Structure 1
Amino acid sequence: MVSDNTITLTNSTTNIPEFLLQGFPGLPEQYYVLLGTFFFLIYLVLAIGNIFIIVFVAYEKSLQKPTYIIFCNLAVADFGFGTTTLPRIISKYWMSDKKMSFNACFTQMYFVHFLGATTSFLLALMALDRFIAICNPLRYTALIKNSTIAVLCSVVWIANLLQLSAITAQALSVTYCGPNLIIQCYCDHFSVTKLACADISAIKTTSFVVALLVLWGPLIFIIFSYVSIIISVMKISSKEGRYKTFSTCTPQLFIICLYYLPRTFIYLSNTFGLALGTDTRIMLTMMHSLFPALINPFIYCFRTKEIKETLMKKIKQGQVRVDGKKSFVQGK
């Protein structure tokens, strides 16, 4: 008899046809609908917030500046990541659909890491933007232009597109003959490749090198840039000036901590085999995957002064138009 959770093929040279997503193994079934609803609400807010940022900045000419171009690229990556993962998670908990075809799983794995890597480098670009704006403000307009940021963002997207294509192709080069149970809410490189029926030492080495490049490379630069920013801010004689200058960085700094700290902890625990409960590991993975994408639009709308002021101006203009039409109709 073949187990519901494992598919084993007699031909070991043939890949298994599908994977099974386990999700949170300790969650009782009576809470599946509730958890699915929770993820649905997260996706709804995430999608609306990030689409709003993209459309608002694209529509409002006054916001088409380097900083907001980076915001838009980050919103695209966040919306893409949420769309790649959340509908499948919702389907699992609403309709008990835990099966995922072999090709669909690898496609999801590709986009999960492609969009994650792109986000990492976009956060580094945000840090670069703030670093030059605060530490070298006189040269900011000469160094940071819309065209420069557009080129850098394009390089980030294309480089990660090619890099993750190579990583995915390497993962596909080995055979997956069973077991096929993925102990995660979505297909990721670590969870999938450990199911391979072959020696994956070369894959692990490549994964480690790429993690150094994608995760810790931008993080080291971000740490350097913010240390430099803090030093420059502390040299400002006015307390109000220090607060005003540093407040422009706090939203990005918060997102950076939320993105990198859990991700680094999970990666180190995977690499060195640290004891970590399955539900805890999955919860941390979902936190660093979805929370930044969920709260980014709120931080940029309510903590970024220029976006907030532009949004309030548009709302007031809309109210004036409505009141004007009412007055015209009543006068008529």
Structure 2
Amino acid sequence: MRLTIKNFFITGFPGLLPKYYGPVSGLLFLLYLAIAGGNIFVLVFVKHERSLHKPSYLIFCHLALTDLMFGTVTLPKAISLYWFDGKLVSFFSCFAQMYFVHFLGATHSFILMVMALDRFIAICSPLHYNSLFTNTTVSVLCGISWFMPFSWMFGVVLDALSLPFCNSNIIVHCYCDHISIFKLGCENAHISAALGLGLAMFSLLVPLGFIIFSYFIIIVSVLRISSSEGRIKALSTCTPQVIITCLFYFPRCFVYLANFVGYTFSASARVVIVMLYSHLPAAVNPIIYCFKTKDIKESLKIRFFTAKNFITSKVS
């Protein structure tokens, strides 16, 4: 029997005792502050530091924007769930959140592929890097990375909207996503599930395949460098990108592989794992941008010592 659903009920972390609502919501709030503060800082600092107006740092800005938007789309609702008992979400608001969750995840994945292309050209064809990989090129590639998921996610949402709901309106998660909504549909919802899974795998595996291939070629090229100092220097330029990429892909691949081999997580464990791998990298990435990237680190040092000397001279 088809149900007319006007609202969805979000459980948050299933099984969480009321006495832990305060600490958990406090941690989520601090996590959101870290995501918002760190990524806004990166965006503002790169924009105002003209020496950083280079392809690599423009890519960092696009990644920071996706992290900021993803945290803003998901965490405030999860926090209000425990602060204000805001467990109800309207039917269309839930689908809007689902759209942005998957759109931003796919966009982030494709921008990581652009970042891998940046390092591929910089190391394998350094003499042509400045002509091949300009700021305009980065803007076009990142624009495509935003546009592709933006367009096809409408199809996923419209398909999910057409589902007949025969089960309940309870979403066992901290936010609305395709899997959670699909589980509430009738048994003939397998087409919607296949569509969502197919696009998710495409947006995950295609960039991941290119990233693995590009870094394999990069390693081969680096090993051909005669001096050990040159090899270390070349690899060091890839360190931030590799860390950021691993933080995004490794947890997701682990979860997918676990499901593939038949290992199933409990509902509580699944929600915790998804929240961790979805949000912790967004809080950590700005630290990697600032302390693992030479140009940003040097610019921060200059700004810090300039401000320190200014304050000292004023006090004197």
1:1-332 pair list within 5 angstroms: 12-13=1-2, 15-197=4-186, 199-269=188-258, 274-327=263-316
Partners of 2:236 and 2:50 in 1: how far apart? 24
**Deviation, structure 1 residue 258:** 1.8
Other structure's SS at 1:91 match: helix
Query: Aligned residue for 1:4?
Result: none
**Deviation, structure 1 residue 112:** 0.4
Partners of 2:261 and 2:312 in 1: how far apart? 64
Other structure's SS at 1:179 match: coil
Please tell me whether the aligned partners of residues 16 and 177 of structure 1 are also in contact (alpha carbons under 8 angstroms). no
Partners of 2:9 and 2:245 in 1: how far apart? 32
Aligned AA (1:251): P
Aligned AA (1:18): N
Query: Aligned residue for 1:330?
Result: none
Please tell me whether the aligned partners of residues 134 and 232 of structure 1 are also in contact (alpha carbons under 8 angstroms). yes
**Deviation, structure 1 residue 97:** 2.0
**Greater CA radius of gyration, 1 or 2?**
1
Partners of 1:32 and 1:222 in 2: how far apart? 40
Aligned AA (1:170): D
Partners of 1:274 and 1:47 in 2: how far apart? 35
Query: Aligned residue for 1:8?
Result: none
Partners of 2:24 and 2:115 in 1: how far apart? 33
Partners of 1:165 and 1:122 in 2: how far apart? 20
Please tell me whether the aligned partners of residues 22 and 182 of structure 1 are also in contact (alpha carbons under 8 angstroms). yes
Partners of 1:36 and 1:249 in 2: how far apart? 36
Aligned residues, how many?
316
Relative to 1, partners in 2 of residues 1:211 and 1:186: Cα closer, same or farther, differing over 3 Å?
same
Please tell me whether the aligned partners of residues 103 and 150 of structure 2 are also in contact (alpha carbons under 8 angstroms). yes
**Deviation, structure 1 residue 198:** 5.0
Q: TM-score, normalised to structure 2's length?
A: 0.95
Relative to 1, partners in 2 of residues 1:273 and 1:162: Cα closer, same or farther, differing over 3 Å?
farther
Q: TM-score, normalised to structure 1's length?
A: 0.91
Structure 1 residues 91-134: Cα deviation after superposition (integer angstroms, max 9, x where no partner): 11222321111111111100000110010001111111011101
Q: Identity of aligned pairs, percent? A: 49
Other structure's SS at 2:8 match: strand
Other structure's SS at 1:111 match: helix
Other structure's SS at 2:86 match: coil
Aligned residues: CA RMSD: 1.6
Other structure's SS at 2:14 match: coil
Please tell me whether the aligned partners of residues 175 and 198 of structure 1 are also in contact (alpha carbons under 8 angstroms). no
Q: Which runs of 5+ in 1 are unaligned?
A: 1-11, 328-332
Aligned AA (2:81): K
**Deviation, structure 1 residue 322:** 2.5
Segment drifting more, 213-222 vs 94-103: 94-103
